[in-house]
Amino acid sequence: MNNPPSDEEKIEEIRMRTQRMADDKARIFELIPQVFPENRDEPKVRGRLTEVVEASGFTREYVARIRDGKVKPS
């Protein structure tokens, strides 16, 4: 029979998942500027901001600030 996880094991899982969230957020902040062609000196793609907003769940203003390098993950 399996014993339920101890409090220490749960705390370690919280620590691990918190780090995973931070890593995921950092990756999202890396990817957002990369999907805007104008950041690669290419023509803008109509509707790209909306696509990224829908994919990320962030506001338009926040995505634009990330795209422009004005916000870094905390």
pLDDT tens sequence across 19-66: 999 999 999 999 999 999 999 999 999 999 999 999 999 999 999 999
Q: At what angle do helices 48-56 and 60-67 cross, to 10 degrees?
A: 110
Region of 59 (left: φ > 0; alpha: ψ -120 to 50; beta: rest) is beta
Q: Give the pTM.
A: 0.83
Q: How far apart are CA 25 and CA 30, in angstroms?
A: 9
Nearest CA to 30 among 58, 69, 57, 64? 69
